[in-house]
Amino acid sequence: MSSRTKIALAILAAISSPSMAQESTEIKKDNEPEIILVTGVRSSLEAASSLKRYSDSVQDSIVAEDIGKFPDQNVAESLQRIPGVSIDRVNGEGSKVTVRGFGPEFNVVTLNGRILATSEIGRSFDFQVLAAELISGADVIKSPTASTPEGSIGAYVNVKTARPLDNPGLHVLGSINAKYSDLSGEVSPEYSGLFSNTFADDTFGFNIAISHQESDNRYDSMGTTRWLLLNNEPGVIEGDIHNESGNVITPSTLRHAGRIEYALGQEHRERFGINTSLQWSPDSSFTNTFDYMYTDLSVETQTQGLQAGLQYPNWRNVVASENGTILSGTKFSGATLGGAGENVDFRIDGLFQVLESKSKTQAFGFNSVKEFDVLTLELDVSHSTSKSTPRTDLLVPNYISPDMNDSLDFDFRNTDTVNLDTTIDYASPSSVRAHWNQISHYELEDTITEVQTKGKYLLDLEFFESLVLDSVDFGIAYSDREKVRERYETFHEDNCGLVVPGADICGELRDMPDDIFSASPYSDFLSNESGNFPRDFIFADIDKYHAAISEMTKNPNWPNEQYNETASSSVTETTLSAYTQFNLSGIISDYDWRGNVGVRYVETDSTSSGYGKRRLSYTGELDNGQPLLVVEYTEPGRIETENSYDNWLPSLNFSINLSDNFLIRTAAAKVMSRPGIDDIGVQVSYNDMQAGSFSQTGGNPYLEPYQANQLDLSFEYYSDGGDAYAINFFNKDISRSIAQVTFIDPTPDVWNGSEYVDNSVSIDGYGNVSETINQKQNQAGGTISGVELAMQHNMDYLPGFLSGLGLQANYTWADTKNKNAPEIDLPGVKDPGDKLEGFAENSYNVVAYYDKNAFQARLAYNWRDDFLSSRSGVRSGGLPEHTAAYGQLDFSMSYEINEYFTVTGEAINITDERVYQYADVEERVINVQYTGPRYRIGVRAKF
């Protein structure tokens, strides 16, 4: 048997089953080779290792331990065990993947090789919509071939569902679990079931899998927003400024948190998923598959909390750091602003929110493969849709004291949160006054239709022994995608006569009914953090709150959200691609080698449409210490823009077996990623009520795609006993990228009827008005170089029960350089250097597992270094934002009671780790969040 035949059989064995096992089941069909199917932690790892070993490119995989049994509660959380892969979490659950530092928008995620419509505004795929019980495995392809779908500058991720003919025969299984959240104290149910059977001598198969999950979680968070530059004019700061040693200083710049926020979030999550497949294969040369998937995901979070606004003047007892950060001070009422005669009141705000997202995603797919002797043809047609309605209710009352002589002491020193002490009684319902309310939601719809045709022509054309043309792959693919985002929000006229989003009854200080509010049921808010800060703030009944606002505004239809044309957009994108790939092999000095070389060509056309308006005039005035604006626009008009580009994407993959167990692999390719769909829309959002935050943020429909050239060199060793060791060097040279650009316009434009002209406005007591412009633009890219180390080691050599032990570990180091890093020219802000956003220098995973007889267990720790998350962050007000290092410890186990029933258990985030983010320097904290440990126990039945 030739080496190429051995490889083909190994690949067949690996991909025909989601796992390999302890107890074998024999499957034979016609003249196909015998395949041994096994289950278990170790065999799942060995199946994934086999896929990596015999792949046509640099690839890593995860494989289900058994039918309907994925190793984690979420596919993303399993993918993070792969070298170079890290994940984003939403309230503690894995959501999106980052590969080699490239975030979710740079990685194409497919389901059975098809792009799936998403519930996100952009392209990034949220793995929360996929129930783990419906998945059989996933491949992460880091070096593409010509046949790999384009669009990934990071990696191509293909998630696979189980098909009935992959596992012939009758399979019935189900599981029931109880999930406990330590922080919320709630227990939630989960269940799943799968039925699969084949008929007519295994020529016809049908399966259906159903999963339902509920969870009640909680998160505790403290953060800040809008780190502002303090204008140290006379009357703004009372007394001297001191450093941390108590010495009087005169800093050139001072920055302070615009707001300090505390929030306790209560989340209810419910997900229902169904997946079914029909397969008909009258003989081994002809297979037809129909797939259908449906997911209904609902997440509702109510946050209860408060915020202290520091954007007003009246400062005393100011202590500043050497970085110009105001570390502590006192804010108070009753002073005047810079001699302007304006009396300034200080208040604390309540912060009550409803964050709701409901999405429904469904996907249809048909695939037909026919072999004609030396020619194989494949047709794949798919259609998927996703509809979602992310919603935000932002309810912000004022807390005041009757004498209006209020003060607040804050202190960022010696704590990772903020010490806060105030004369305002924020725990008393009688202190609450109605103030600001903004209700908004998006209606998002994503529709994708794809048609793909593929072919493989077997040649076995031997030019000489060292070079054989085995086959030629070719194909054409067409995709049509439409992404619609429509925004709805409240628009009201405030007491100042300004028509602005949500500013009803603003500043009127109307008393609110006390029965809306109640004492917090939790006494352990941010219990892991020391310090003196609010832990006993009141909770609001959201329904009663809405009813009270409706009564105050005499608006029975409250919140009567209206369509915001200029913040809405629609993008249609069509792609046409074609590829040719030559698959080669041969023998060099008795060493087998194989590889492929090819090119993919793709055309992309996009049309962005929506509404735009022109600014006619703007004026300003100082009101109660706040510089307010009045801006006049034209009526919104319909606009539409078009863009198109094409890309040639050559690729080369080569591997050589230096022994039966050791191989060297190298790869080179040109790759691209399209701009985010939300970035190429024509929508524009205006922030034009306060002069201090006068800005506009919009899309850029003329963006060109990211482009990069990449190289990989991998050394891989696979032992006969299932051990595997690999070291992979990689380099990406990004020739074109996209970056968020923020710049200041000191003379904001106005439309004079025929063209835009510069205009300037000055407000007494504030100064000149300028506008901040935020937009994505194409720029030069950067370079990423790194190394990935991976190992899988089974301890079979240990005596007795210890022989079931094993270790899986990987480590990734990456060095990045931004070729055109825009200099941060903001007073009192350090330049973050030339590092690319989203890239952690170090990350690693360590998994210790035990698999022996009826017992399996796994202890996994993953860690990611700190990194620059945004060069110009939204939350911080344009400052560089960083995410601190994070590590998490998880545990899972199972015990087979008998051949039918298995008891399972899982513990997530055992050590109760936190997320920590900061702006520019660590003392400027912008987010500290805890989600707490979570536990799950259950029973799995298999018949």
| 526 token code pair | 């941010």
Q: Is 613 exposed, middle or buried (0-12, 13-18, 19+ CB in 10 A)?
A: middle
CA-nearest of 354, 333, 345, 521 to 433 is 345
Check residue 734 and give its pLDDT. 92
Peptide bond just before 556 cis, omega within 30 deg: no
Whether the per-residue pLDDT at 29 is higher than 60: the answer is no
Report the C-alpha gap between 497 and 480 in whole angstroms: 46
Chain centroid offset of residue 433 CA? 37
pLDDT (mean) for 295-299: 93
CA torsion sign for 267, 918, 773, 629 is: positive
Whether the per-residue pLDDT at 38 is higher than 60: the answer is no
Q: How confident is the model at residue 25 (pLDDT cuts 50, 70, 90)?
A: very low
Secondary structure (3-state) at 87: strand
Q: How confident is the model at residue 353 (pLDDT cuts 50, 70, 90)?
A: very high
Chain centroid offset of residue 294 CA? 21
Report the C-alpha gap between 459 and 936 in whole angstroms: 53
- Residue 199 falls in which region: left (phi positive, over 0), alpha (psi -120 to 50) or beta: beta
Whether the per-residue pLDDT at 97 is higher than 80: the answer is yes
| 784 token code pair | 């990423």
Q: What pLDDT, in 10s, does the model give residues 298-312?
A: 999 999 999 988 877
Tell the residue number behind the tokens 């020619």, with chain if given: 375
| 58 token code pair | 């640099």
Highest mean pLDDT among 676-690, 757-771, 834-848, 899-913: 899-913
Q: Are 519 and 536 in contact (CB under 8 A)?
A: yes
Q: How confident is the model at residue 506 (pLDDT cuts 50, 70, 90)?
A: low
User: How do 432-464 and 925-930 pair as beta strands?
Assistant: unpaired
Q: What pLDDT, in 10s, does the model give residues 370-406?
A: 999 999 999 999 999 999 999 999 999 988 876 666 7
Report the C-alpha gap between 843 and 862 in whole angstroms: 8
Q: What are the angstrom distances between the C-alpha of 249 and each of 73, 239, 324?
A: 54, 11, 11
Q: What are the angstrom distances between the C-alpha of 59 and each of 52, 456, 598?
A: 5, 21, 18
What is the CB neighbour count within 10 angstroms for residue 443? 16
Whether the per-residue pLDDT at 10 is higher than 60: the answer is no
Q: How confident is the model at residue 499 (pLDDT cuts 50, 70, 90)?
A: very low
Report the C-alpha gap between 255 and 784 in whole angstroms: 33
Report the C-alpha gap between 141 and 135 in whole angstroms: 18
Q: What pLDDT, in 10s, does the model give residues 617-670?
A: 999 888 777 788 889 999 888 999 999 999 999 999 999 999 999 999 999 999
Greater confidence (706 vs 781) lies with 706
| 242 token code pair | 């001191």
End-to-end CA distance of the chain: 38
Check residue 79 and give its pLDDT. 86
User: How do 695-698 and 771-779 pair as beta strands?
Assistant: parallel
Q: What are the angstrom distances between the C-alpha of 691 and each of 619, 695, 780?
A: 10, 9, 33
Whether the per-residue pLDDT at 14 is higher than 50: the answer is no
Amino acid present at 679: D
pLDDT (mean) for 13-33: 34
H or E stretch including 52?
helix 41-53
| 72 token code pair | 């984690």
Q: What are the angstrom distances between the C-alpha of 144 and each of 460, 540, 663, 709, 817?
A: 23, 52, 19, 11, 23
Q: What pLDDT, in 10s, does the model give residues 195-254?
A: 999 999 999 999 999 999 999 999 999 999 989 888 666 667 888 999 999 999 988 889
Q: Across the chain, which distance is largest between two alpha carbons, in Å?
A: 96
| 400 token code pair | 């005041």
CA-nearest of 139, 151, 143, 84 to 115 is 151
Amino acid present at 333: S
